Structure 1
Amino acid sequence: MRSEHLKNLPPVLVSALARLFARYLSECKVPTQCKASKTVLLFKKEDLHDISNYRSICLLSAVYKPFTLAILNTIDRTLEEG
Structure 2
Amino acid sequence: MDILDTQQIFTVALFLGVMGLAWLAVYVNRGKLAGKATAGRRLIVREATGLGNGERALLIEADGHSVLAVIPRKGPAQLLALPRTTQAEDAE
TM-score interval w.r.t. the shorter chain?
under 0.3
Higher relative strand content: 2
Task: Choose 1 or 2 for highest CA Rg.
Answer: 2
Higher relative helix content: 1
Instruction: Give the TM-score normalised by the residue count of structure 1.
Output: 0.23
Instruction: Give the TM-score normalised by the residue count of structure 2.
Output: 0.21
